[in-house]
Structure 1
Amino acid sequence: MQDVADRAGVSLTTVSFVVNGAKPVAASTRARVETAMADLGYRRNVLARALASQRSRILALVFPALEHRLGSAALSIVTAAAAAATERGFNVVLWPVTGAAQLDDYVSGGLVDGVLLMEVTAEDPRVDVLRDRQVPFGLVGRTERPDGLAFVDMDFEGMVAVGLEHLADLGHTRTALFLGDLGSPSWSGYGPITRTEEAYLRLAAERDLGAVVVRAPQDPRSGHRAADGLIAAHPDVTAVLALNEAALSGFVNGLVAGGRSVPDDVSVLGVATSSEAISTADPAVSAVVAPGPELGRRSVDALIDRLAEPSLPALQLLLGGELRLAGSTAPPR
């Protein structure tokens, strides 16, 4: 830093202000300092800065990648979170952590200032780990009893309501729900699936729309098999809500292969589906699109705000989705 100061003709304190953003510096002076830094190949020592400030300025996104696919919707959350953190002077690392014990090993080293938990379950044991370690954290999702917890989550109930209203307005009276099957007891009470199913069963009953639930693992072949099963067991179903992004294209292809035209015979509407996933199915699938980018941004901003001011109340926010039509829904024959 002294070399930079000498080259730029400023004080060491001025260089510190530029490097750390501690105080405003005149634009012309900042330009001289940044030019000197570039000429000399100066780089901030991240570890030294962390030791001096007792902050690493790193946030961890905890995603159980060995049990969940990092699909388009989740990836949109991660990329938006990273962009929001960069704007606030933080970095984001993705931890593919499975289980509370592994998370405890990670956070015990003090490498991060805060944690965002993704893929939250009803009784998520990771919450207790972070509380015990006194690590600032937020949830992308929510537990069954989120009192006092900071979370930003999708309004799955609201998105199901939007989807069923659209199908009912088209005249459908026999509907089904296509869900992901995570295939592990540890994921019992996984929020998106549980809340979507509960909302569907209640709202479909209120509207007298039938109530058929079909499940499949998160891959296209399983989606194809689920469509075969739906056609065989419930040939009268004319509309499907789908919360299984990874299997959606296979499900649509299975309907077509089974002799069902989309949307003339069966309408298909995705729920909490990313914009990217809509276009990969053939034909393209209409959907209530997941607010993934906003979810990532708001989660990061809320966590950084509480790092700066711990007395702030915990943000609890539900975000709805937007109905986007791509031609896969129509009135029944």
Structure 2
Amino acid sequence: MVTMQDVADRAGVSLTTVSFVVNGTKRVAPATRGRVEAAMADLGYRRNVLARALASRRSHIVALVFPALQHRLGSTALSIVTAAASAATERGFNVVLWPVDDVAQLDDYLSGGLVDGVLLMEVTADDPRVALLTEREVPFGLIGRTDDPTGPSFVDMDFAGMVTTGLDHLTDLGHRRVALLLGDPGGPAWSGYGPVVRTEQAYLAESARRGLEPLVVRAGQDPRSGRRAATALAADHADVTGVMVLDEAALSGFVNGLVAAGRAVPDDVSVLALATSAADVATADPAVSAVVAPGSELGTRAVHGLVERLADPAAPPLHVLLPGTLELVGSTAAPR
């Protein structure tokens, strides 16, 4: 049976260093970690998960909590989950996805003591899950944020910055009537849903600053709702020549609805998605330009932040806003 000492001898490091890599109890330089992992692979060493948990008093499992009934697991959310799982593996942890939709259900999951820490997705302004985790003294972080910017650790998208980037692009092209289509999560529990609230606030403030007349349109999170929103927009607001869309699920239906209503994209209406995934930009039909969400970086930074707080509970909270990246694929142009 291959032991950690065998791995240490093969990698040319101390037994303690191998233990740090195997148990994830301390950061190890990437080059050293690589030698240790290569030695483990060469020798066929297998981690004993139960023994590691007993030795470190940890399960080395992090839960990603996603409200699956209220939210669609779209491309951006999936990129966050995938990156989080990869980052956790690098740090000696595993990720489980908890499709939890209410506080009572989350409390039931926590009572099992299965996880070392929790990352909350789809965060609202006054998220009741935060209070529960605080009360239960479970280490946690947010992918998103509450309305308290000095509160729990978070990694979030800079939605205000994305709005500014989008309006800069469209107004530089010459657009003077730019609408905002927002996804409506539905239900009173989501009235303070951070991405929608912050995007709308930034849009209204930026429109006022630029002397633009704002128009906010809402649609459900599905293609049919997007198509209905496009039909109404084309009929009631013919002066709109540009639209920013924060509704990944409705985006394709919205673009198709504009075309069906006789509004060519981008000749009649430019469409720019906000906080959508790079995969959607690449595969959409028709293609839609976007301020692309930093989904992978969100998942990676959130996991690293939580693991580091597990190692040092006294570490200050992490407060990070990540910008989007403008990617143009032809759905925006100067207005006629």
TM norm structure 1:
0.90
Q: Residue 278 of structure 2 corresponds to which residue in structure 1? A: 275
Q: Distance in 1 between matches of 2:257 and 2:323?
A: 29
Question: What aligned pairs does 1:141-180 form with structure 2 within 5 A after superposition?
Answer: 141-180=144-183
Distance between the aligned counterparts of 1:129 and 1:220, measured in 2?
A: 35
Q: Paired residue for 1:311?
A: 314
Task: Classify 1:108/1:9 alpha carbon distance in 2 versus 1 (closer, same or farther; 3 Å).
Answer: closer
Q: Give yes or no for contact 1:150–1:316 (8 Å, CA) kept in 2.
A: yes
Residue type matched to 2:129 in 1? R
1:222-253: CA deviations, max 9, x gaps?
Answer: 11111001111111100000000111011000
Give 1:281 shift. 3.1
The 1-side partners of 2:121 and 2:36 are apart by: 43
Q: CA deviation at 1:58?
A: 0.6
State the alpha-carbon separation in 1 of the partners of residues 8 and 319 from structure 2. 46
The amino acid that maps onto 1:161 is T
Q: 1:33-69: per-residue Cα shift (whole Å, max 9, x none)?
A: 7666x4xxx7443233212321011111100111100
- Show the counterpart of 2:68: 65
Q: Which residue of 2 aligns with 1:296?
A: 299
The yes-or-no answer on 1:196 pairing with 2:186 is: no
Which residue matches 1:240?
243
Counterpart pick for 1:227 among 225, 230, 250? 230
Q: Greater shift after overlay, 279-288 or 75-84?
A: 279-288
Following the alignment from structure 1 to structure 2, what is the Cα–Cα distance between the partners of residues 85 and 9?
22
Cα RMSD between the aligned structures?
Answer: 2.7
Q: Distance in 1 between matches of 2:54 and 2:86?
A: 25
CA 1:253–1:28: 2 relative to 1, 3 Å: closer
Partners of 2:124 and 2:21 in 1: CA distance: 39
Match of 1:216 in 2: 219
Distance 1:299 1:59 in 2: 11
| Aligned residue type for 1:302 | G
Among 81, 87, 90, the residue aligned to 1:87: 90
- Matched residues in 1 for 2:200 and 2:121: separation? 20
Q: 1:105-131, CA deviations, whole angstroms, 9 ceiling, x for partnerless residues?
A: 111221111110000000000001111
Task: Pick one of 125, 135, 146 that aligns with 1:122.
Answer: 125
- Partner amino acid, structure 2, of 1:185: P
**2:77 matches 1:74:** yes
The 4+ residue runs of structure 1 with deviation greater than 3 A are: 8-11, 14-25, 27-36, 42-45
Mapped partners of 1:190, 1:265: distance in 2: 32
CA contact (8 A) 2:61 2:115 kept: yes
Look up the SS of the partner of 1:240 in the other structure: strand
Where in structure 1 are there 5+ consecutive unaligned residues? none
Match of 2:256 among 234, 253, 257: 253
Letter in 2 for 1:214: V
- The farther-off stretch of 103-112 and 123-132 is 103-112
The code of the aligned residue for 2:264 comes to S
Deviation at 1:283, TM superposition (A): 2.2
Query: Structure 1's 331 and 21: CA in aligned 2 closer, same or farther, altered over 3 A?
Result: closer
Please state how far the C-alpha of 1:210 moved relative to its aligned partner. Answer: 1.8
Once the two structures are superposed, residues 131-173 of structure 1 have per-residue CA deviations (whole angstroms, 9 ceiling, x without a partner) of: 1111100000000114231001000001001100111111111
The correspondence for 1:55, drawn from 50, 53, 58, is 58
**Could you tell me which amino acid in structure 2 is paired with residue 320 of structure 1?**
P
Once the two structures are TM-superposed, the CA of residue 89 in structure 1 deviates from its matched residue by 0.8
Is the CA contact 1:252–1:282 (under 8 Å) kept in the aligned structure 2? no
Q: Given that residues 21 and 92 in structure 2 are in contact (C-alpha distance below 8 angstroms), is that contact kept between their aligned partners in structure 1?
A: no
* Structure 2: gaps spanning 5 or more residues: none
Q: Does 1:326 align with 2:329?
A: yes
TM-score normalised over the length of structure 2: 0.89
Segment drifting more, 274-283 vs 70-79: 274-283
Separation (CA, whole Å) in 2 of partners of 1:59 and 1:311: 19
Task: Give the whole-Å Cα distance in 1 for the aligned partners of 2:38 and 2:212.
Answer: 65
| Distance in 2 (alpha carbons) for counterparts of 1:316 and 1:85 | 19
Residues 215 and 109 of structure 1: is their aligned pair in 2 closer, same or farther, counting only changes over 3 Å? same
What is the letter of the counterpart of residue 173 of structure 2? L
| Counterpart Cα distance in 2 of 1:82 and 1:260 | 42
Q: Say if 1:289 and 1:323, in contact at 8 Å, map to a contact too.
A: yes
CA distance in structure 1 between the partners assigned to 2:176 and 2:96 by the alignment:
47
Judge conservation of contact 1:4–1:15 (CA < 8 Å) in 2: no
Query: Residue type of the partner of 1:51?
Result: L
- 1:247-290 CA-partner distances (Å, limit 9, x unpaired): 10110000001100100100000111111112343321111110
